Structure 1
Amino acid sequence: MTSRICTICARGGSKGVVNKNIRLLDGKPLIAHSIERARASGLFASIAVSSDSEAILEIAGVWGANYLIRRPDELATDKAAKIPAIRHCLHEAERLSGLKPSTFVDLDATSPLRSVDDIRGAVALLEERGVSSVITGTAARRSPYFNLVEEGEDGFVRISKTLDRPVVRRQDAPRCFDMNASIYVWKRDRFLAEPSVFYKDTLIFEMPEDRSPDIDSELDFEWVRYLMERGKRNG
């Protein structure tokens, strides 16, 4: 039996979409989609949900989370970074389960369109390549070398990144990705020694655009709802 742990961190105080983590999407609470995918992957000995909301924790238990972890208030503010919350959740999950996995995964509760194969693929990439971490993303719509600009302190805009050669076609630029915040995979020991998203050997697992939306607004919510309905129609 694998000893991998999956963490899912879901704050209760969303402002963009009120109560989004327990709002119904395709007949089930938003957070349930991530729990179900984690369970269906067959990769995890335990799934731990961290939240400052008792309602979220109660629903997470109903939908199959193994451990319900109360997030400290200081890790649940609007300005709190997510990495400390993930670290706290991992520590508590290990304490409660007695496990110390070599690999652990965090699934974002607001990315319900990821597939089981996405989770398996990201984990396999880390474990087969022996790297410190794997993130997920989709091909970027704009390239910082070609058509993404930034405003300088002088108020003028310029291409965000330049090379020592002109880039006249998007295809001539290095491949760039939009992080979709869907799946993070870490080597446990590296993460605990140096909690971070990026290391020198971080790899990306590419996901298609239609499985990459992250719900942060009402428009995002409706877009994800449409993609789910389209997926059902297309079988």
Structure 2
Amino acid sequence: MARTIATICARGGSKGLPGKNLRPLAGKPLIVHTIEQALAARGIEGVFVSTDDPAIAEVARGAGAKVPYLRPAELATDEAPKLPAIEHLVSRLESEGLAVDTVVDLQPTSPLRAPRDIEAALALLGDADLVVSVTEPSHNPYYTMAEADAQGWLRLSKPGSVARRQDAPAVWGLNGSIYVWRRSALPRAIAQGFWSVLAKPYAMPRSLSLDIDDLEDFELAEWLLQRSRSAGAAHGR
């Protein structure tokens, strides 16, 4: 029987914030937040970490994830895209007898999602190739987002007759938190590009969409988690 698995890709190197995947956030290593969310999400039948770093592998196993091997160096450079690393991991699992139908890839630098977000995104897949988590951006290309032309003059990115923000078409920004892939779509996305597949959005609020890249992001995530816990305690949760 084919299974739904979660993958978490976590390199040891990071230029923006060295060692961020193991950096303590609200009392536990950053990557552990995502592992625990995946383990708690209904419908996930296995949580697998792809990493090139033995220290990350040790922490991940201690948190309950499986790390079947250390990722090859050529898939762990700053320039290496993530999809081939996911495909490499899934193919390895399949070669060992695991039948995979759905791959839920979770970014370890997005620790503010909840297990219910993973479950809701998974439930949306239907006949799509991909469900990707998104959030409403602070700027809309039909109304406030501009780019410079060849002469350096600012022009609206998507010019038209929109006069009010409320009249602008809804747009989404990928927040990087959740990607629910139909297994069969992964090779096509690698060969033809991310946007070659049929994708549906799973909308998340901005407050849960933080992607940690540097120290400022990390400190903001710490504050947001503390605020969430304080609010939960105040309501007796």
TM-score by length of 2: 0.92
Distance in 2 separating the partners of 1:14 and 1:122: 28
% identity of equivalent residues? 44
Distance in 1 separating the partners of 2:88 and 2:16: 25
Query: Does 1:232 find its partner at 2:229?
Result: yes
Amino acid at match of 2:106: L
Secondary structure of the residue aligned to 1:180 is strand
CA RMSD of aligned residues (A): 1.5
Work out whether residues 103 and 186 of structure 1, in 8 Å CA contact, stay in contact via their aligned partners in 2: yes
Q: Which runs of 5+ in 2 are unaligned?
A: 233-237
Distance in 2 separating the partners of 1:67 and 1:43: 20
Secondary structure of the residue aligned to 1:48 is strand
Count residues in correspondence: 230
Secondary structure of the residue aligned to 2:174 is strand
The correspondence of residues 51-200 of structure 1 with structure 2, limited to 5 A, is 51-96=51-96, 98-126=97-125, 129-163=126-160, 166-195=161-190, 196-199=193-196
| CA distances 1:88-127 after superposition (whole Å, capped 9, x unpaired) | 122123334x22222111000100000111100110000x
Distance in 2 separating the partners of 1:69 and 1:44: 20
Work out whether residues 12 and 56 of structure 1, in 8 Å CA contact, stay in contact via their aligned partners in 2: yes
Deviation at 1:24, TM superposition (A): 0.6
Distance in 2 separating the partners of 1:26 and 1:205: 26
Distance in 2 separating the partners of 1:9 and 1:231: 26
Distance in 1 separating the partners of 2:121 and 2:182: 12
Secondary structure of the residue aligned to 1:221 is helix
- Change in Cα spacing, 1:174 to 1:208, as seen in structure 2 (3 Å) is same
Deviation at 1:69, TM superposition (A): 3.1
TM-score by length of 1: 0.93
Q: Which runs of 5+ in 1 are unaligned?
A: none
Secondary structure of the residue aligned to 2:43 is coil
Work out whether residues 6 and 47 of structure 2, in 8 Å CA contact, stay in contact via their aligned partners in 1: yes
Query: Does 1:220 find its partner at 2:217?
Result: yes
Distance in 2 separating the partners of 1:99 and 1:107: 20
Work out whether residues 60 and 68 of structure 1, in 8 Å CA contact, stay in contact via their aligned partners in 2: no
Distance in 1 separating the partners of 2:42 and 2:23: 26
